[in-house]
Structure 1
Amino acid sequence: MRYGMSVAMHVRAGQRDAVVAILTRDGDAMRALGCDLYLVGVSDEKPDVIYVTEVWTSRQAHRASLDHPAVQAAIAEAMPMLTGEFHSTEFDVVGGLGVPG
């Protein structure tokens, strides 16, 4: 079963665009690691929050991606711009538009 995660991450004031750039720069690598869907969103109502929704081929693929050098480098680059406040939900993907069958 596919694995999904939705995260709201809080960024330091004025850092949203820099973090968004980090999160969105290497989609091909994410796909190669088993990511089927990766959405990054923002809201003018909450300018210091970034929303990320991910769908992976499996929970194991997601966890393994965190050990990839490019992913670790992106995390290290973004961390100083984050406040440390995260709200996340993990879920089993049962279907939906844009999700491979």
Structure 2
Amino acid sequence: MVVGYGFNATVTAKPGLGERLTNVLLTALDEGNPAASDSCVVYLVCRSASDPDVVHVTEGWTTEEDHHRVFAGPAAQAIVARVQELAADGSPYTDFVPVGGKAAF
């Protein structure tokens, strides 16, 4: 499947909440949640090696429209609300269009 739209986000958790934030983000992979959608081609959650409260998320979607459609749903909005409760202010977000690469887990 081709990734037509994606983004990277760096989310800094409130002090000491990095593991909880990571766990919430990983629930997006559960059935019925956004990253389990056929439209989500890449969903990668990483923690900083030097700061356990910094979490990086990379997502790749078939189209930007599919991403917006899925994230408008109640499951995604519930995860977003939980992330916002755990996040400190100001998290960088960069959208992109992938041109190639490799992912294997």
User: Is the shorter-chain TM-score for this pair beyond 0.5, marking a shared fold?
Assistant: yes
Structure 2 letter corresponding to 1:37: V
When normalised by structure 2's length, the TM-score is 0.84
Residues 28 and 76 in structure 2, CA contact (< 8 A), matched pair in contact too: no
Task: Report the Cα offset of residue 95 of structure 1.
Answer: 2.0
Structure 1 letter corresponding to 2:68: R
Look up the match of 2:28: 26
Structure 1 counterpart of 2:59, from 54, 60, 70: 54
Structure 2 counterpart of 1:11, from 5, 10, 13: 13
Larger strand proportion of the pair? 1
Structure 1 counterpart of 2:70, from 65, 89, 96: 65
Structure 1 letter corresponding to 2:10: A
Partner Cα separation in structure 2 for residue 63 and residue 97 of structure 1: 24
Task: Report the Cα offset of residue 44 of structure 1.
Answer: 3.0
CA RMSD of aligned residues (A): 1.8
Q: Deviations over 1:39-83 (max 9, x none)?
A: 000023122210001100011111112211111111112211111
Look up the match of 1:89: 94
Residues 6 and 90 in structure 1, CA contact (< 8 A), matched pair in contact too: yes
Which stretches of structure 1, 4 residues or more, deviate above 6 A after TM superposition?
Answer: none
For the structure 1 residues 69 and 58, does the alpha-carbon distance in structure 2 shift closer, same or farther, using more than 3 Å as the test? Answer: same
Structure 2 letter corresponding to 1:5: F
Identity between Structure 1 and Structure 2 (%):
28
When normalised by structure 1's length, the TM-score is 0.86
Q: Secondary structure at 1:8's aligned position in 2?
A: strand
